Chains A and B, each alone.
Chain A
């Protein structure tokens, strides 16, 4: 009997407790439902902020290696020497396939379109921004993978057991570029025409993207013909050559809109009297900088900051006992022209083969393109008010060299103690010293504390800038047979760099264009795509060593071999009583950690599509040479 009572009691309790609908049906406290999120401007903006944050960069200040690849620099870092001791790259390198990001962008666009709680003007801007980000990512995809499936709305699975309707085949490479260009065309007038909107999409950003995409597509159409191996019969990779002119025209038009001020008052950054400081300033001066168009911004005392300066600051006297990782290579350093606009190796020997003795350690770099010292910290120049101490050893009159194996070491020479090596090296094989003889300057933050792990840096990363737009316009104009226009645009950049002799229309060649991009845009993450779209990567990096004589030849040639980084080391002459005492000579070296040379294979032009992707979707065709 007791048992029955218990059962009844339990039943009564169970049925009673289910009555309260409100108790079980509560709003979650950890998830914001979409009808709430997309009806609030603040919440929608925060979702958009996350989407901005997931922008894919090839090179970024958050990863110092990503900005200094392909032998424009040696990496003075024990964990990174391997990159100079192998023959190249895997087919899967640089691959990206983030359709999760595209899905989130598509959901955002769909939800904002359907939202009733947001003002119409705000909706239009949010949607245009998301479309900008989506086009940006498709641009990233097409640059690295070739044509990809264009998914423009969120795909939903119907749980029928048959997912084939979700499997889309790859579009042609041209179709994806067309999509990017078309999207930019449609959203540019909707986005704010505002020079000061730098970390959010603006009309200038849309135009800059359109310009770059059209230029890349045009050059793939034109130069792809030279490498028929890098193409697929379905056009997923490769663009028909007859489309080149159309793309170049689009690129030039888009660039002109920015140059003519239709998108706002963008201009070259020219605020500082010292031209080298001025060039370096483009990358850290965030106060009304007319050059930056679209950037990834950072802020101190938040989670969004980076350690580029910590990784790369000159190590001697730095705020942390580290730095110096990117060591620009001689290959790059000697490419900067003289102020007369001529290519010339750094003169370290005279005509009869003897070393030239220079009074000052910096004299060998005199009369060079100001971008050299804006991009590179050379021996004798300063960072944060402190002169770098770079010299490799003491050269004695009998031809021997005295050097040390610890930074700033002193040794006994002729009875006196003499410093035999700089506090910044170079010491071969010692990480964080200038093993090539140089440190990087671009993107280094001159603010106090930027080199401290607790503070870090808030220097922005510039994705599109006015200087690049000028170069894009120059290249497109050159390809369209308007060398006078190309010369005019390039001369603006060269004038800013202090080059006194302007280019004449007859001087404009493909090599000139390639060279100008090489020096102006070094360490900005664009060199890789230039090599790819011109289809010269396999020539520039052909797996053959560079000899010491070869390194000084053909400066300014677009197809000059760049398989290994070289260095230039200063030595101090010690010969009391002789006129050359305390003067400097320079020797060309190859860091001993560089033991192999890079070979860029045809299969590296477009990254390998993962086997899991191919298995999930049999409609996806492989990239060429994989």
Chain B
């Protein structure tokens, strides 16, 4: 009888210890969405999926460390965060664009306070934009045309290294070779009237194809793209 009672007491103690240990010194999980797009004049920048990123810094919690946020291929981002004050900085030389200098002291760092779900469009200046991209599919050949508009001119201007039409079987299309099954470089004679065609490889049996034109700017790692377009046979 006595041992039984001790067992009960011990079990009770264990249960209460387990219950009590929950909740203490545990933070609530982050619950606030910070989302938005990286844009030029309100138009989202089309980039390679998961390649372009920026960092969020939240001051005031011990050793600082950044929260990395990566852009989707349509220039959108989303991150679940704690409420508080944040600083947003782009990694150096990342992306096919330059950041806007806000003022002398702040440089290009963006300050914001997260109090509830928030969307923000981050303005940047790309080197080029792909305009009027049009695609058509006839048989196994994708024909595409576009014009390339130079945005940054003057001292910081950079040349176009190549313009490439990429095709893929999924909606992820980029210069990442896992995100395209073929790519054809365009003739660069006239950037205002680019036309290029690419042939779908024979082993691709799907009756649709995703296409996208990318511009490689010399000396810049990440390409800028047109929006992805789905073409049906």
A residues touching B (Cβ–Cβ < 8 Å)? Answer: 87, 228-229, 538, 543-545, 595-597, 599, 601-602, 611-612, 615, 622, 624-626
Contacts and interface: CB of A to CB of B under 8 A. Distances in A.
Nearest to A226: B219
Given A228-B219, A611-B64, 17 more contacts: A87-B177, A229-B93, A538-B221, A543-B175, A544-B175, A545-B177, A596-B177, A601-B221, A602-B221, A612-B63, A615-B63, A615-B64, A622-B92, A624-B92, A625-B92, A625-B94, A626-B91
Contact of B178 (A87, A228, A611, A626): A87
9 contacts: A543-B177, A544-B177, A545-B177, A596-B178, A602-B221, A611-B63, A615-B63, A625-B91, A625-B93
Given A229-B93, A622-B92, A625-B94, A611 B221 contact: no
A156 B93 CA distance: 38
Interface in B175-215: 175-178
Interface string B60-75: 0001111000000000
Contacts, number: 38
A215 B196 CA distance: 45
A626 B92 contact: yes
A624 B219 CA distance: 14
Q: Is the interface of B mostly helix, strand, loop or mixed?
A: loop
Interface residues of B, number: 14
Contacts of B221: 538, 601-602
A227 to B, nearest CB: 8
Interface centre among B65, B175, B178, by most A CB within 10 Å? B178
A229 B98 CA distance: 13
Interface in B86-140: 91-94
Contacts of A622: 92
Nearest to A615: B63
A611 B221 CA distance: 24
A545 B66 CA distance: 33
Given A625-B91, A625-B92, A625-B94, A229 B219 contact: yes
Contact of A602 (B64, B65, B93, B176): B93
Given A229-B219, A602-B221, A543 B176 contact: yes
A611 B177 contact: no
Nearest to A595: B178
Contacts of B94: 625
Contacts of A626: 91-92
Nearest to B182: A545
A228 B219 CA distance: 9
A234 to B, nearest CB: 14
Contacts of A596: 177-178
A624 B93 contact: yes
A622 B178 CA distance: 31
Contacts of B64: 611, 615
Interface in B128-178: 175-178
Across the A-B interface, give the 4 residue pairs with the lowest CB-CB distance, nearest first.
Answer: A615-B63, A625-B93, A545-B177, A597-B177
